[in-house]
Amino acid sequence: MNPIDIEALSVRYGRRTVLDQVSLAVGEGVVYALLGRNGAGKSSLVRCLLGGQRPAGGRISLFGREVWSQRAAILGEVGVVPEEPEVPPAMTANQVERFFARLYEPWNGAGMKDRLRRFGVPLDVAFGRLSKGQKGQVAFSLALASSPRLLILDDPTLGLDAVAKKEVFDELIGELADRGTTVFLTTHDLAEVERIADRVGVLRAGRLVLDEEVETLKRRFRRISFAKAAAEVEGAARPLADFAPVAVAARGWGMEAVVSNYDEERFVRQVGGGDGAGRAEVSPLTLEEIFVALTSEAAEAGASAAKNHEVAR
């Protein structure tokens, strides 16, 4: 029984499809990062995941229970950090902690306060007077205080500076090491995701175009550069077809391609022995570079053209 099972999830606003047949599963103790550009459908998916929005189609289960019909029973085991924290603006962190302590069992109020002190967030200042980043740190600390089996984070470091972002992710890593909590997060902090995530999904225009373990993903994506004369650039791209290029660009010095199905032995055999072999340079990519290649305007245009072609057939 997975903490999260999403089957063929679709969300529409009027005639606009925001999520199109999205399916994914998150196992026990896994850190899953859902990535996508603004408008890709991440927040809509999180709202459905928490039972706050009924999808147009599909099904979501948390711990084997259907979330839309059993939301109240399920969310006691779920910690949530929303993109916009919802706390009465007149309440201080101390007052919020006392309020939540009556709702959750178990509850670690002392741990929450210690965490906020480490973050430098005042406990006796009204929530409405805190900075945006401090509000996010309060929400994060509240979510962890209930020792949830599942932690859902919707862009948890939005509005935080670089130091505060690192502090939040370091706290999260410490919690995971102590408890083995399952985590589902959306974020734009791809460098930190690469540090903590076991698996990533990428939404592009409402479709899940990637769902894979981070290490497997990084093994099969490569940047390949050919230092060739401009007249030879087009010819250099042909041997790369077997390596599933997702982005190809002509540069002043030659050609650069990002491929998604790299195999070193096959590359040496098929490309390394051909024209310009000595000038082919292969380098690994960061998760951020892979994400950019998969979600660039050129990649979206190519996917849209392929989809239209399928419809036409």
Q: What global pTM score does this model have? A: 0.87
- Give alpha helix (H) positions in 89-198: 93-101, 109-119, 132-145, 162-179, 190-196
- Name the CATH superfamily for 4-212: P-loop containing nucleotide triphosphate hydrolases (3.40.50.300)
Give the per-residue pLDDT at 192.
Answer: 87
Half-sphere exposure of 118 (CA within 13 A, CB side): 15
Mean pLDDT per 10-residue run, the chain (313 residues)?
Answer: 96 95 96 94 94 95 94 90 90 96 92 94 96 90 93 88 86 79 92 92 95 94 77 60 86 84 87 56 93 76 42 34
Question: How long, in residues, is the chain?
Answer: 313
Give CATH 3.30.70 domain extents, the chain. Answer: 217-312
Give the per-residue pLDDT at 86.
Answer: 85
Give the per-residue pLDDT at 236.
Answer: 58
Give CATH 3.40.50.300 domain extents, the chain. Answer: 4-212
Pick the CATH number of 217-312 from 1.20.120, 3.30.390, 1.10.3470, 3.30.70: 3.30.70
| Count of CB atoms situated within 10 Å of the CB of 153 | 24
